[in-house]
């Protein structure tokens, strides 16, 4: 079963794909957000290509666990995904995923051509696999 993970941002949304059988994920794409308009055509193409069974959206929170305006925006994005694609959408705390992604890229463990946001989405999926499977 495939899952697609999202690292939501107001300018870019990182996307990764993974499968629960191997509990592995890889960076997939960067979806652009221009003038607060998400490129839904790009997301639709990825969902059509991979036919995921579920979607995972990282929820950014403050270090103390409290919500931020970005948390609310990510929750709204998750609701839009569920409405548009009729797939289960799960949330996971994504605190420090971007920091971990930057470290992974600087250590040479990430695909050198991948963007930070897609690697952050990969980490979100890997966290999902380790905590929820």
Among candidate residues 118, 6, 14, the one with its CA nearest the CA of residue 56: 6
CB 4 within 8 A of CB 14: no
Among candidate residues 120, 61, 49, 47, the one with its CA nearest the CA of residue 89: 47
The residues spanned by each domain of the chain are 2-132
Does the pLDDT of residue 95 top 80, yes or no?
Answer: no
CB 2 within 8 A of CB 52: yes
In the chain, at which residue ranges do the beta strands (DSSP E only) sit? 2-7, 12-19, 24-34, 37-38, 54-59, 89-93
CB 110 within 8 A of CB 6: no
What 3-state class would DSSP assign to 59? strand
pLDDT band at 37 (very low <50, low <70, confident <90, very high): very high
- pTM (2 decimals)? 0.86
- CATH architecture group of domain 2-132: 2-Layer Sandwich (3.30)
Determine which of 42-51, 64-73, 112-121 has the lowest per-residue pLDDT on average.
112-121
């Amino acid at each position: 079963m495939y899952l697609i993970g999202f690292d939501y941002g107001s300018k870019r949304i990182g996307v990764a794909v993974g499968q629960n059988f191997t509990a592995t994920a890889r960076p997939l794409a960067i979806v652009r957000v221009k003038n607060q308009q998400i490129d839904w055509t790009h997301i639709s193409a990825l969902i059509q290509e991979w036919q995921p069974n579920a979607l995972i959206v990282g929820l950014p929170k403050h270090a103390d666990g409290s919500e931020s305006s970005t948390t609310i925006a990510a929750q709204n994005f998750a609701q839009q995904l569920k409405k548009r694609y009729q797939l289960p959408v799960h949330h996971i705390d994504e605190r420090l995923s971007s920091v971990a992604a930057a470290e992974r890229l600087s250590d040479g463990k990430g695909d050198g051509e991948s963007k930070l946001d897609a690697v952050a989405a990969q980490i979100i999926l890997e966290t999902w696999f380790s905590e929820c499977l």
